[in-house]
A and B are shown apart, each in its own frame.
Chain A
Amino acid sequence: MIEVKHAIKSFDGNTVLKDVSTIFETGKTNLIIGQSGSGKTVLMKSVVGIHRIDSGEILYDGRNITSMKRKELNALRREIGMLFQGSALFDSMSVLENVKFPLDMFTEMTEEEKIERAKFCLQRVELSHALDLSPAEISGGMQKRAAIARAIVLNPKYLFCDEPNSGLDPKTSLLIDQLIQDITHEFNITTIVNTHDMNSVMEIGENIVFISKGEKAWQGTKDEIFDTGCEPLEDFIFASNLYKEIKKAHKFFQDKESSTKQK
């Protein structure tokens, strides 16, 4: 579990995070959603420790990263896997070498053991056929899957995904979402996904934190998201005609259900 307590972060006098407090639960896919420029990326980068918050606390199962020294933070980071928006695979290495890299850096396993583990992770993301290809030789969706394999190779306790669906077609996005959720449940990881993709929200949103203008405006599950009464969230969700229609349908069925109950 990751707890954020009263996090405040400013850049050049501009306060981007305004007293944000929330909890990201273990074994669930926790989503941070919000419009571009709302502060969700800053929140995620602060939770990971890329940005140091000005005040407040960020607790990883009770361990406060805001007061950690660089060495302690580095040790904690070995429990973290991260999937970047652009995959961030190392260009100079093959897919297999990319996945094996964290094992090379942080374990004393033999070469055979490392290859076996890397292959297992690649098999888990269905990339066994691309071991020797370089990142430039595979598609965007495959790069994302390779990056997921690299992120989970050290059995992380915490998995961060920064806009995992950006640049992907809807079908591949769905596969990536499903993979993230499956891995979260399978390995009981605390997963945090930063997204503004409503399809992801409806697909894997087990715990959703909505950020608006640097503040936490709402928190709940995907089943609660249509009836929040939170104006900025409704503006965000129902910006497209598709979701306006979905809301109408949702309301229709709700009304029908309540009238049936009354009868």
Chain B
Amino acid sequence: MFAIKEIEKVGAYTQLMYRVFAKPDKWSMFFRQYKEELKKQGIDSLAIVVIISIFIGAVITIQMIKNMENPLLPSTLIGLATRDILLLEFSSAILCLILAGKVGSNIASEIGTMRITEQIDALDIMGVNSSNFLILPKIIAFVTIMPFLVLTSMFVGIIGGYGVAIFTDMITVKSYEAGIQFAFTPYYITYSIIKSVIFAYIITSVSSFYGYTVKGGALEVGKASTDAVVNSSVLILLFDIMLTKLLL
């Protein structure tokens, strides 16, 4: 019974995406929505990305220092480990898990509220492809802004580590600098961006699906918002394993 329900959900999601990826009714309206979504999902998420990344960057550096107290390990490894953790996992997967909470719940509750207050029905009655009008700009906006958020997170995370080197005597600035430049693989950035773009699609499309298919009242909107975050997070983790195996 559970399996059938889940298969039905996948079917409904596929049908919804088929309607979402249609030509917009009016391009000027699409771009207007797109710009608003860029601000709402991208620019408004920048502060949380910067705050989390700077602190996590600092924390990873401190933890690396504590774990590499062995005199046989060169101190440059601290900067290297911090950089690679940020580039490979934190700034893509973990950041997207955090954004699934912020952006995903926002999308699901916004669309869900529109559903229960008949605003989506109003669009349909007007002859607007409501799924395309509401969901496509969100997906495209988040997918296009995500690489910038990831790059910002990487940069700020490394700055966080720098802070530890500057403001404490746990590691020298010179050694940290040498570490973050040592054995640098530019492909890690490409890998991280590819992952994050896919995660951005998962967050927006899954959250939109849960919001769009809400039935009932405010209680159901809350539940849809939670389901959107939980399911997006699980899918991000699943795809993280698959993409890591495929791309690295």
Interface pair B26/A84, CB less than 8 Å apart = no
Stretch in contact with the other chain, from A18-26, A100-108, A181-189: A100-108
Given contacts A75-B127, A80-B125, A82-B125, contact A105 B119 (CB under 8 A): no
Contacts of A239 in B (CB 8 A): none
Report the minimum CB–CB distance from A230 to chain B (whole Å).
32
Q: Which parts of A151-209 form the interface with B (CB within 8 Å)? A: 160
Proximity bits, B101-135, A CB within 8 Å = 1, else 0: 00000000000011001110110111111000000
Option from B28, B117, B124, B128 in Cβ contact (under 8 Å) with A50: B124
Given contacts A104-B29, A105-B26, contact A88 B126 (CB under 8 A): no
A77 at interface by CB-CB < 8 Å: yes
Residues of B within 8 A of A219 (CB): none
CB distance from B11 to the nearest CB of A (A): 18
Closest A residue to B25 by CB, please name it: A105
Measured between beta carbons, the chain A residues less than 8 angstroms from B28 are 104
Q: Indicate whether A88 sits within 8 Å of B118 (C-beta atoms), given known contacts A74-B127, A80-B125.
A: yes
Distance in Å from the Cβ of A78 to the closest Cβ of chain B?
Answer: 5
With A104-B26, A105-B29 as contacts: A85 and B127 at CB distance below 8 Å: no
Which of chain B's residues 116-170 have a Cβ closer than 8 Å to chain A?
A: 117-119, 121-122, 124-129
B26's closest neighbor in chain A, by CB? A105
Give the total number of A-B pairs whose CB atoms are below 8 A apart: 54
**Interface SS of chain A:** mixed
Whether the pair A78, B126 counts as a contact (CB closer than 8 A) is: yes
Chain B interface residue count, CB cutoff 8 Å, equals: 17
User: Do A86 and B129 touch across chains, with their CB atoms under 8 A apart?
Assistant: no
* Residue contact A50 to B125, C-beta cutoff 8 Å: yes
Task: State A50–B119 Cα separation when bound (angstroms).
Answer: 13
Given A50-B125, A75-B127, A78-B127, verify A88-B119 contact (CB < 8 Å). Answer: yes
Q: Interface readout for A80-106 with B: 1 if CB under 8 Å, 0 if not?
A: 101011101111000000000010111
Q: Which residues of B contact A88 (CB under 8 A)?
A: 117-119, 121-122
Tell me the minimal C-beta distance from A104 to chain B in angstroms. Answer: 6
CB of A237 within 8 Å of the partner chain: no
Chain A residues near B129: list those with CB within 8 A. Answer: 74
Q: Which B residues touch A104, using CB under 8 A?
A: 26, 28-29
Q: What CA separation (Å) do A240 and B119 show in the bound complex? A: 34
Please give the distance in Å from B105's CB to the nearest CB on chain A: 17
> Chain B contacts of A106 at CB under 8 A?
25-26, 126-127
Say yes or no for A32: interface residue by CB 8 A criterion. Answer: no
Give chain A nearest CB distance to B157 CB in angstroms: 34
User: In the complex, which residues 44-77 of chain A have their Cβ closer than 8 Å to any Cβ of chain B?
Assistant: 48, 50, 73-77
Q: How far is the CA of A102 from the CA of B70 in the complex (A)?
A: 69
Q: How far is the CB of A92 from chain B (nearest CB, A)?
A: 8
- Chain B residues with CB under 8 Å of A84's CB are 118, 121-122
B contact residues around A105 at 8 Å (CB): 25-26, 29, 126, 128
Assess the B118–A85 pair: CB atoms within 8 A.
yes
Residues of A within 8 A of B25 (CB): 105-106
Whole-angstrom CA separation of A91 from B119 in the bound complex: 9
> How far apart sit A75 and B122, CA to CA, in the bound complex (Å)?
15
Closest to A147 in B: B122
Closest residue on chain A to residue B124 by CB atoms: A50
Bound-complex Cα distance A48 to B26 (A): 23
Contacts of B114 in A (CB 8 A): 90-91
Q: How far is the CA of A75 from the CA of B25 in the complex (A)?
A: 11
Question: Least Cβ distance of A11 to chain B in Å?
Answer: 13
The chain B residues found within 8 Å of chain A, CB to CB, are 25-26, 28-29, 113-114, 117-119, 121-122, 124-129
Residues of A bordering B, CB below 8 Å: 48, 50, 73-78, 80, 82, 84-86, 88-91, 102, 104-106, 160
7 A-B pairs with C-beta separation under 8 A: A78-B127, A88-B121, A102-B126, A104-B26, A105-B26, A106-B25, A106-B127
Closest 3 CB pairs of A and B: A77-B127, A74-B127, A88-B118
What 4 new A-B contacts, CB under 8 Å, besides A77-B125, A82-B122? A78-B126, A86-B117, A89-B119, A106-B26
